[in-house]
Amino acid sequence: MSGNIKMRYLYERLAFVLAFMLTSNPSVASKNQDIYRMDLEQLMQMEVISAEKKSQSLLKTAAAVHVITQDDIRRSGALSLPEVLRGVPGLEVMQIDASNWAVSIRGFDSRFANKLLVMIDGRTIYTPLFSGVYWNMNETLLDDIDRIEVIRGPGGTMWGANAVNGVINIITKKASETQGTQFSFIGGSQERNISARHGGRINDQVSYRFFTKGKHVENFNNGTPLVQANDQWRDLSSGFRVDGNLDSRNQWTLQGGYNVGHANQLGSIPSLIPLGNFITPDTVKYHAGNILFRWDKQQSDDNKWRIQAYYDYFRRDAYNAALNVHTFDLEIQNQLKLSMLANHQFVWGAGYRGIVDELESSFALSFNPGQRYTRTFNAFIQDEIQLTDKLRWTLGSKVEHNSYTGFEFQPNTRMLWEINDKHSVWGSLSRAVRVPSRTESDARINFLATPGRDPLSPPALFSIFGNPNLHSEKVYSAELGYRSILTSTLTVDTALFYNYYDYLSSSAMSFSGVELSPVSPHLLMATNLGNQMTATTYGAELHTKWQATDYWQLMASYTWFKLDGQYKNGGTELLDRLYRLEHSDPRNQFSLRSDLRLPHNLEFNSMLYYTDKLQGQQVNDQARVDLRLAWAPKPMLELSVVGQNILNEQHKEFTAVDLLYSQIPRSVYGRIILRF
């Protein structure tokens, strides 16, 4: 059989199969109506827990909250957690290279955004080493996420230090909601991805699931056409969850996960022999594991307890340095309503976190001491007072004691006015803190080596030294918001904020002199960290959702943001750093998403993201468009094709101090999901 005849035969067979699958399970618009219709009033009544550590409806929450549902995740076509977060008002998501992102809320964006707390089922993935998140070490199965709650604004009263600008809480599904077997296959121009998940029951009271996923991301380009950036990324992740009921008032959960992978990167590394800064390729190797246990006991409708404990470990090797970190966390929480105080509802709790690290230093990055054990004790209480049927006042505070700065207090007060069952106004005043990281306290970073001014002068080594006497960074925040179901098909959620930051981490030249070690002899130009900066931020955020028809939904968000910084006492040190700080966040952000259900179980999703220029990053303003077309001919089968960044062949989004940035490419992939 000739090649042309073979190809024609193959096309005919494929056409026959497609026609059979379409006609064997006909699906017209009328059958899709109940599936795709979104009851927006019901959406506003969705229960969220991250704002006040208890379940309450979105409409009655006195905070700037945005919820990303599992349907939102699926329709986005995203393949990683940072990509899922694009389009949330007030949230900045910038990709640096194939495996690194800069993610922040309300400013101060960087590779390690140090004012954002990120959790998965209540387990923090905020690393204490650099005050940020290693996004490439926290891969999980996106299909298992129930929702992501994004709290914009300080969350220190509930979640403690480092929840300064916001909280991202990723909440996974119960094991009982993921029964059966699922296989997923992804192949495309930049990423290949395969995953398997199985869920079942041990008995009527105990359900379980486990999954494994492998991914491979190809090299991006470095800005020169067809020149690769050496940032290939491979990751293998697995995890499990078991949920059980002792009785109707006692539930428990045991879950855990493990990630192993490596990511190539290019960085500028200083050297004294030979002398200079060299663009050096390296492979980051990591593995990380965690296990968590949670017990919920409901003694009565007015008395609910939760006990949660987890252990987390990771090792990360890069540029001849090895970082080993062990974390143990224990938390007890009680939600209580007393009959003698019928208008009051209390949430209180206490916790302990211990961190043991073992850090193997390199020339570029060293720690003194190399091992350290840090502890944090905390207690909090919050009282929600129902002043009238329409007016609710909440006040509370958390007290923490940590190994770096001692006692810290993080109070807040919030007021909610329920105008009626479709409109609410809220306001808040908060104080939150960010505790110095291990790097800021104990590290030495050698970042630049240069020749002397003349042939007889020694070379110069520029270094940043940590400061064990740093104060915590502090923010004083005021917020005002309005949330409304304007019509049965239109909702609006708005927020205004003003933040004042004090004791921000800063650096200034403090010493110069000859240093004999590390070899060879050189002139040391030392910079010490301090708390000599202040800043103000203010802005507005808007999110709206419109159910245009039973089959077509539109969502739009807009963010306006401004940051002004200054050195204390009129200082003018490192003005370039101040300029970078003030101009590394977009002034304007806009997103528009369209979700359209078509006949024959077809679905078409389109996403537009606009980001203003980042002058401090030398990044132009840009628009990104993602498209997704999906078809589910049978309940057991789903096919989809996704195009990402289709307007740009490649573009720069963000830079990191220690990494060479990559150009983010246009990409396309196809996905097959099989369920049994």
- pLDDT (average), residues 90-109: 93
- pLDDT, residue 569, reads 73
430-443, pLDDT tens digit by residue?
999 999 999 999 99
C-alpha separations of 338 from 96, 344, 416, 472 in Å:
51, 7, 22, 36
- pLDDT, residue 147, reads 94
For 582, the enclosing helix (H) or strand (E) is helix 575-582
- pLDDT, residue 513, reads 85
Rounded distance between C-alpha atoms, residue 589 and residue 105, angstroms? 12
Q: Cβ distance 424 to 59 under 8 Å?
A: yes
Domain boundaries, the chain: 37-675
Give the single-character DSSP code of 113.
Answer: -
User: Quick one: fold of 37-675?
Assistant: Maltoporin; Chain A (2.40.170)
Band (pLDDT 50/70/90 cuts) for residue 310 is very high
Rounded distance between C-alpha atoms, residue 390 and residue 666, angstroms? 50
Per-residue pLDDT at 552 exceeds 80 = yes
Closest CA to 655 of 229, 366, 316: 229
Closest CA to 203 of 181, 172, 175, 183: 175
| pTM to 2 decimal places | 0.91
Between 502 and 159, the more confident residue is 502
431: which residues sit within 8 A by CB, 6+ positions away?
Answer: 154, 156, 409, 410, 411, 412, 474, 475, 476, 477
Within 30-133, strands assigned E span: 47-48, 56-57, 64-69, 91-95, 101-105, 116-120, 123-124
- pLDDT, residue 227, reads 66
- pLDDT, residue 12, reads 45
- pLDDT, residue 108, reads 92
Rounded distance between C-alpha atoms, residue 657 and residue 130, angstroms? 13
Alpha helices in 284-336 (DSSP H): none
Band (pLDDT 50/70/90 cuts) for residue 563 is very high
605-651, pLDDT tens digit by residue?
999 999 999 988 889 999 999 999 999 999 999 999 999 999 888 88
Q: Cβ distance 46 to 67 under 8 Å?
A: yes
- pLDDT (average), residues 130-152: 92
